[in-house]
Chain A
Amino acid sequence: MTETLGSTSADTATTTTTTTEAHDDEPFLVVEDLTVKFPTHDGLVHAVSDLTYSVKLGDTLGIVGESGSGKSVSSMAVLGLHDMRSTRMTGSIRVNGDEIIGTKNDDMRKIRGNEVAMIFQDPLSSMHPFFRIGDQLIEAYRIHNRGASKKQARARALDMLDKVGIPQPSRRIDDYPHQFSGGMRQRAMIAMALINDPRLLIADEPTTALDVTVQAQILDLIQELQREFGSAVIMITHDLGVIAEIADETLVMYAGRCVEKGPTKEVLTHPVMPYTWGLLGSIADVTSDTSKPLIPIPGTPPSLLQPPSGCAFHPRCTFTDRVEGDRCTTELPDLVPGPQGASHLKRCHLEDPESIYEVELKEVVFG
């Protein structure tokens, strides 16, 4: 039994190395000009427009945005989870060099759960309530490892549950999801996602339903496992606190588009786009000055059925008067390098956002 176990892991190891060698000039995940539209009774929903990003192995990309900003839709596209009969998708998504868009479902299954895995927000609704935790893990393993016996798969499942910190895994493996607490369910789901050693892990609001102490544990766990397996991680969240802790690079989404992208530290300390300013101004921290009121973004997020003309943020932006003419309302700004160079992109017409932020906002937002 040990022999077969050894050989399967060796097999996967060899395939891994060959595929990496073939595409080592390209990041593991490349998304180019991704546009996703859903036809509905009310019209066409422009969920994601012209989204471009890439993630290297070992790196963590944080995608931050409000509900309806397209952050989940874009990551579901990476897993090929959209029903192509009712979705209009253009652009290119390459996982390890292989194009995802247009791939048949059967072929997609080989990538899904094996190369790319996902952790969802609500572990109760994303696990099957009728099946034992262990059986669900075993199924996930055996689908991608046809040769593995039930015994081997169970050993592997136990190993994973232990790795994610479930106490007494041999006793808990035969529990049903409802017998686990929220934090333990999330751990079990991470175990399920990582059981096939995926090289890209997409975590969609993995800690939103959890308490802060559990959230801290889960974030630590994801980082530990990432270090161990060297995988790439996409962290999707609305919580800048999570982004600040875990992401190397941050992409801010608004109304389906990337509006700012750069190294996390840069984006959080020298943001160059009014929406990011607004996000930073609207959150309280455990150390912020309580005598100052929060600075909310006025208005509400736009409808993606009819996104606003020009810059989608212009109806809520308080800086449109700093831009010549009516460019904000008529002309969609390009995603261009900001004042700090090509690594930090912005989608905004403002000429000198850095000085506006440093002079007028930094005190208020960061004080």
Chain B
Amino acid sequence: MTQEVVSNGTPLMEVTDLVKHFPVKSSGVIRRVVGQVQAVDGISFQLEKGQALGLVGESGCGKTTAGRVLCRLYEPTSGSMKFEGDEIGHLSNKEMLPYRREIQMIFQDPYSSLNPRHTVGTIVGTPMHVHNTVPKNTVLQRVQELLETVGLNPEHYNRYPNEFSGGQRQRIGIARALALQPKLIIADEPVSALDVSIQAQVINLMQDLQREFDIAFLFIAHDLAIVRHFCPKIAVMYLGKIVEMGDRDQIYLTPHHPYTQALLSAAPDVRHAAIGGRRERIRLEGDVPSPINPPSGCRFRTRCWKAQDICAAEEPPLLQVGGRQVACHFAEPLQVIVAPPTGDGPTVGKPAAVEARGATSTAQANGGGPLG
């Protein structure tokens, strides 16, 4: 295990071997438990105060479940989650109350996450009533301040959610999350339901708020570009496990895990494609296996072109390799994304060599799936 003392204090959130399984019950009267959906299966990470950690992965990889467990919307099956050193994994609702103030959530869908029968003032003000953070007669004033902070007209506190556009609703959701001045915000796909031009507004707003109020973010998204833009530190998940975690440039410029490499090779890149650049894609065969019955050993092996016998027999631990943590028996760097020639980002490796390697790996991936 790579337990290293990172900072001088306790981290804001420390998660160790966190597991969340959902029981699958048989139909009929007795409803026996016949299996477990292993949505999150042993993830560990630390989140420092004011830091943004990105959680990326495809649908079904457990990123949303991880976020909900961290918010304690779900109780973890096992493992530990410490908020400022206090274990909060199995607290009762009542014991959890003071921590709820510190951990807030922004949801994906701005249409279903706001009660259509409540005014904006009620939606944003309710957390303050529940937690008694401000005197009752100043709640309205505080609501208006918050609406102004997120770029809405403070006079609109009396309106209903349906009177706002998608982007404005997401701002209401953000104002609600900010109402209790939390230390950690879990943002689950906060912009994926919004139009492109509005996404940038909301991302910029969240970045400003993060800097202004020193809030830590767990940013959950499938959009690799947005995650890279928002988070200096990124964890890649596959089928309930973190397969690679490290700094932005480590993950994007020299990915070590085959899954990260495949994911990045598929990411669209407007600026690169516009000047005629085409990335060599690593094609993955088949679909993500079922989390009820995940493959033995490395969970990615059924789709991996590097898979050997050891991958089925032994689960690769998350180890420190080349400055980042990676869980693969055959971890080695492969540059998939080539920084554009005009860019000022650090360019690592030679594009020509990389393309050649990308091509061989594609051929291998297509050639045969012995384990499929």
Contact = CB atoms under 8 A, between A and B. Distances in A.
Interface of A: 66-67, 167, 181-184, 211-217, 220, 238-245, 264-265, 268-269, 278-290, 293-298, 300-301, 366-367
B248 A241 contact: no
A190 B272 CA distance: 28
Interface string B267-282: 1111111111000010
Nearest to A213: B266
B345 A289 contact: yes
B344 A286 contact: no
A284 B226 contact: yes
Contact of B196 (A66, A286, A289): A66
A216 B10 CA distance: 42
From A212, A278, A289, A367, residue with most partner B Cβ within 10 Å: A212
Interface of B: 58-59, 165, 167-168, 195-201, 203-204, 207, 222, 224-226, 228-229, 248, 252, 262-276, 281, 283-284, 286-288, 337-340, 342-345
A181 B196 CA distance: 27
A287 B225 CA distance: 8
List the 3 closest A-B pairs by CB distance, nearest first.
Answer: A241-B268, A282-B200, A244-B273
A184 B199 CA distance: 29
25 contacts: A182-B59, A184-B287, A212-B266, A212-B268, A213-B263, A217-B283, A238-B195, A241-B267, A264-B274, A268-B274, A279-B197, A282-B197, A282-B201, A283-B225, A284-B228, A286-B252, A287-B271, A287-B272, A287-B339, A290-B228, A290-B229, A296-B198, A300-B167, A301-B195, A367-B343
A242 B274 contact: no
B228 to A, nearest CB: 6
B271 A288 contact: yes
Contacts of A181: 287-288
Nearest to A243: B270
Contacts of B224: 212, 286
Given A300-B165, A367-B344, A283 B337 contact: no
B348 to A, nearest CB: 12
A4 to B, nearest CB: 36
B204 A284 contact: no
A280 B197 contact: no
Nearest to A303: B165
A269 B275 contact: yes
Given A183-B287, A300-B165, 11 more contacts: A66-B198, A184-B287, A212-B263, A238-B196, A242-B268, A283-B200, A284-B225, A284-B226, A287-B271, A287-B338, A287-B339
A28 to B, nearest CB: 26
Contacts of A66: 195-198
